[in-house]
């Protein structure tokens, strides 16, 4: 529950939840995620967007382990939006299955940050310097959150790096 993690009251956050924390790239046939993103940014004037993955994510585990999705064709099709994360993750060496899954979760957060930047409402808000994008990975067991540092492209503890963001990496990053 994002409200509990961020200490917000119920209804204090505009939350979009789905398998794999997927944000499809903007396209000619926008779906529910695209409509929700556009509404949050344009109508509600949301100033911070967080793409939040979590430890032991079932969707990312399925991708990392090349689990056959033939019996769930809609899920398999949906998870194709994480293909760029899968390709990058497969190119790395991993010491264990659990490390491969943890890496997949992080790569997917990075990929979804890139996907959301293709949405017109996001691009406009970023160009007007009124939006920050954050990439988080929540560890369910410990409650810790690692955040994507857009400068180093590494995940760091949010507890000790409270101002870190994935994009823009600095006020100058969006200067026109």
**Is there a contact between 146 and 157 (Cβ–Cβ < 8 Å)?**
yes
Where helices occur in 20-170 by DSSP H, the ranges are 32-38, 58-64, 73-79, 83-91, 97-116, 120-127
- Tell me what pLDDT residue 164 has: 93
- Tell me what pLDDT residue 12 has: 74
Distance, in Å, from the CA atom of 169 to the CA atom of 176, rounded to the nearest integer, reads 15
- Tell me what pLDDT residue 58 has: 96
Longest dimension (CA), the chain: 49
Centre a 10 Å sphere on the Cβ of residue 173 and count the other Cβ atoms it contains.
13
- Tell me what pLDDT residue 169 has: 62
The structural domains of the chain, with segments of one domain joined by +, span 2-57+105-174
- Tell me what pLDDT residue 4 has: 64
Residue ranges of the chain with per-residue pLDDT less than 50: 171-176
Q: What is the pTM of this model?
A: 0.90
If you ran DSSP here, which 8-state letter would residue 25 be given?
P
Domain 2-57+105-174 coded CATH 3.40.1050.10? yes
- Tell me what pLDDT residue 1 has: 66
**Is there a contact between 16 and 33 (Cβ–Cβ < 8 Å)?**
yes
- Tell me what pLDDT residue 175 has: 40
CA distance to 128, 149, 152, 169, per residue, from 175 (Å): 9, 19, 20, 12
- Tell me what pLDDT residue 176 has: 38
Q: What is the pLDDT of residues 94-134, one digit of tens each?
A: 999 999 999 999 999 999 999 999 999 999 999 999 999 99
- Tell me what pLDDT residue 3 has: 62
Q: Minimal CA–CA distance to 120: which of 20, 53, 39, 174?
A: 39
- Tell me what pLDDT residue 97 has: 95
- Tell me what pLDDT residue 136 has: 96
Q: Minimal CA–CA distance to 138: which of 21, 12, 9?
A: 21
Distance, in Å, from the CA atom of 62 to the CA atom of 3, rounded to the nearest integer, reads 27
């Amino acid at each position: 529950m994002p409200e509990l993690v961020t200490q917000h009251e119920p209804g204090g956050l505009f939350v979009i939840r789905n398998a794999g924390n997927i944000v499809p790239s903007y396209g000619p046939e926008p779906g529910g995620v695209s409509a929700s993103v556009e509404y949050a940014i344009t109508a509600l004037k949301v100033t911070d967007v967080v793409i939040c993955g979590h430890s032991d994510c079932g969707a990312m585990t399925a991708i990392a382990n090349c689990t056959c999705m033939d019996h769930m064709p809609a899920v398999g099709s949906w998870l194709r939006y994480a293909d760029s994360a899968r390709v990058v993750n497969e190119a790395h060496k991993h010491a264990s299955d659990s490390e491969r899954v943890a890496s997949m979760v992080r790569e997917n957060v990075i990929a979804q940050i890139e996907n959301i930047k293709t949405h017109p409402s996001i691009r406009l808000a970023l160009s007007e310097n009124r939006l920050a994008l954050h990439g988080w990975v929540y560890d369910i067991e410990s409650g810790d959150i690692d955040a994507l540092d857009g400068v180093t492209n590494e995940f760091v503890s949010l507890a000790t790096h409270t101002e870190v963001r994935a994009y823009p990496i600095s006020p100058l990053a969006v200067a026109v």
